[in-house]
Amino acid sequence: MRMHVWQEGENIADRMGRPDYLGMVWDGEPSFSKPGLKKFALFPWFDYRELADFDGGERFLTVPFPVGGEREVRYEPSEDVVFVLEQIPGIEVVRDDGPPNPSPGSGTGYDIYLSEGSRAEDVTANVTALLTVLQADLDALRDKHPG
């Protein structure tokens, strides 16, 4: 994960307007402008986090990414969902630490971009593959821990 160092006078709209910009995760809440990635934000992360934690925590999921091949994706309920995103082929995550003197209400943000040479439709296909595996794991957790 690259670290972004906030510069005095920087306008976030400049970064959001880049053609490789996909969205952001702020304090664990994903927000995407691209239709293919909105599905990631709509996944029931709270339910998955609670059930995964109840089932022992850390999960390792084998995902057949259409672009990038089969990979193991690690999910840890106590971590931000951005750590799942950075494991998807074609995605680059940049941490934004915000201004040098943040207020007490400041949070943690991550900007999400296409990695160099990647195409939006390939990332969408990879996200869909990941969500299929996540949904199957969530369904299995619900069956194992009903109620």
Token pair recorded at residue 85: 């995103």
Q: Which residue has the higher pLDDT, 80 or 127?
A: 127
The per-residue pLDDT for range 64-102, each reduced to its tens digit, is 999 999 999 999 999 988 899 999 999 988 887 666 676
Q: Does residue 5 form part of some domain?
A: no
Cβ–Cβ < 8 Å for 31, 24? yes
Q: Does residue 104 form part of some domain?
A: no
Closest listed residue to residue 25, CA positions, set 89, 91, 70: 91
Q: Does residue 11 form part of some domain?
A: no
Q: Does residue 75 form part of some domain?
A: yes
Q: How many domains does the chain have?
A: 1
What is the predicted pLDDT for the residue at 75? 97
Q: Does residue 76 form part of some domain?
A: yes
Q: What is the residue range of 41's domain?
A: 29-99+109-144
Q: How far apart are CA 67 and CA 113, in angstroms?
A: 16
The per-residue pLDDT for range 32-59, each reduced to its tens digit, is 877 778 889 999 999 999 999 999 999 9
Token pair recorded at residue 90: 């074609």
Q: Does residue 94 form part of some domain?
A: yes
Q: Does residue 55 form part of some domain?
A: yes
